[in-house]
Amino acid sequence: MRALVVTAVAAEAESVAVGIDPHPVPDDEPRVLPGAYRVVRRDLPALAVDILVGGVGPAAAAAATGTALAVADPRAPYGLVVSAGIGGGFQPDAPVGSLVVADALVAADLGAGTPDGFLTVEALGFGRNTHLPPAELAARAAEATGALLAPVLTVSTVTGTAARAAELRERHPMAGAEAMEGFGVAEAAAAHGLPVLEVRAVSNAVGPRDRDAWRIGDALAALSAAFRVLGPVIATWGERHDHR
């Protein structure tokens, strides 16, 4: 199984790489963007992972993911795309420092505001606003990492007020986390016929913006710990499902 992991920033990519291999080496000649890692776990020869810094936001993530998939070596195609990084957690379900694995990747603010409320792009008839990961893989990933299995919302503007948090909760009562890239990664993966998974480590609560309460270091450590145990999960799932 060859997997592509897409993060927003370099610190997230490094945390994922360290989780997979305690001594990762950046790719000498990254094929798409600077800062990439190519990691092969010595105890999992069937698993190879490319980690890409794709940029912040759904558009940047979709562009980077699509480019990486378009130039992939056809002799060693990807079998899975993963959106990974830190994000905000909806309280009290996803406390700071915990993990969330998406059972749905949702474009939470893609649509239109109306006098009667928000309409999703799907309700407008212009596409879809949700991607579903393979249910078995998401469930096994959540179980192995001790993560909450719940929808992860993709937003273009990070929530910074109680009113915005309440609005998202009302429209997505089962949501576990919000981030800025998952849906974009999923759109690119779907265009190439590939399954997607999203893993988020919670660095802050969704709600009023309070930088002093953020625990980015703890979230990055949790992300590394998650990928330490996700390697075997992905490899095992890939052995059964990757037929590309």
Mean per-residue pLDDT for 64-68?
92
Higher local confidence (pLDDT), 125 or 40: 125
Give 39's pLDDT tier (boundaries 50, 70, 90).
Answer: low
Q: Does residue 28 register a pLDDT over 70?
A: no
**pLDDT > 70 in the chain, percent:** 89
- Provide the terminal-to-terminal Cα distance of the chain, rounded to the nearest Å: 10
pTM of the predicted structure, to 2 decimals: 0.91
Per-residue pLDDT, 228: 92
Per-residue pLDDT, 241: 79
